[in-house]
Chain A
Amino acid sequence: MSENLIRLCVLYAQLSLLAFGGANTILPDMQRQIVDVNHFMTPHTFAALFALAQAAPGPNMMVVSLIGWNVAGLNGAVLSMVCIAGPSSVLTFLVARVWERFRDAPWRKAVQTGLLPVTGGLLISSAVLLIQSTTLDWSLALLTAAVTVLLMTTKVHPMLVLAGAAALGAVGVVG
């Protein structure tokens, strides 16, 4: 197992139990580790792989296996997935059995309420860091703004939006 792959596995195993709110809340730390600390790829490649995972079917977490593949091939993809899913899955498995007892406990409500601002702040960090690396010129800034307004105000299917954006880029309207 290469050194890069070991680093990747350690990173994902740590992030697994910190991913309150799913994949998007750990993006800032993934970007910090993968781009800034380990220099596995540029911020632009990171953003492109994130976009690719978004356009593929399956859970949001797929970005983890795509980055793993990019860094260390097939082993990287599979082991990254095992490391990001393993610890949180074991926790879910154990908690699911005793959940009934705690469902209405007052501390559970307090924890849930308290985690919300942290999850929100992490999501805003993710968005800002991604936008920093995807805004290559003003037309792309405009596209990000337009898509945000579209998603906030209509119920248009997300895949349609992504396909439309890619088509605009391909024919040279933006980018």
Chain B
Amino acid sequence: MADPTVTATPGTPPGVVDLFTGFFMVGVRGFGGVLPWARRTIVEERKWLTATEFGEVLGLCQFLPGGNIMNVAIAVGARFRGVAGAVAAILGLMVAPVAIVIALGAVYDQYADHPVVRRAFAALAAAASAFVLTASLKIAAPLRGRWLPIGLTCVTFVATAVFRVPLPVAMPLLAVLSILVLWRFEA
């Protein structure tokens, strides 16, 4: 028997309703990171794509702007059912998390002034900051010892955090600068 996750004979192509329910499950289960659940649902449980195909879709979706997992929903939905599939997949993905986050927001508003809730949220926010710090350290780690990309990282940081240059100005300029510099001097 071949390993089903590698050679998977994909099942029947999902319909619009399948796409909605599949991504709905990804959305509601995605506590602390949605991507592992997307892989599990799409590759292992529903067998819509092989592991390799999923990797290719993910590569594209991380390359393009926008939420990675939202892009995955669009690409997978479009692949099987065109516009209707893409719309069904992203609606399925977003509907439950939006409802849940609004409910949490309403509860927070109600009790935000209570001292216990206020302290819990101060601590939660401090921990959430650490998540972003960790993500930035992990993305910066492979740049160690390569002074050109490190310099470009610093320029981006100073422009956006210190001088607060608006992103619609900073992003195109920095992206073009970085791509040209690294292509010319590092390739």
Question: What is the interface of chain B, defined by CB distance below 8 A to chain A?
Answer: 27-34, 56-57, 60-71, 74-75, 78-79, 83, 86, 90, 93-94, 96-98, 100-102, 104-105, 108-109, 112, 116-140, 143, 149-150, 152-157, 159-161, 164, 166-168, 171, 174-175, 178-183, 186-187
Contacts and interface: CB of A to CB of B under 8 A. Distances in A.
Interface of A: 14-24, 26-29, 32, 36, 44, 47-62, 65-66, 69-70, 74, 77-78, 81, 84-85, 87-89, 91-93, 95-97, 99, 103, 108, 110-131, 133-136, 140-141, 143-148, 151-152, 157-159, 161-162, 165-170, 172, 174-175
Nearest to B162: A125
Interface of A is mostly: helix
A92 B66 contact: yes
A117 B65 contact: no
A129 B161 contact: yes
Contacts of A88: 64-67, 70-71
Contacts, number: 349
Interface of B is mostly: helix
A86 B168 CA distance: 17
A57 B67 contact: no
6 contacts: A60-B67, A92-B74, A103-B60, A117-B156, A120-B139, A151-B130
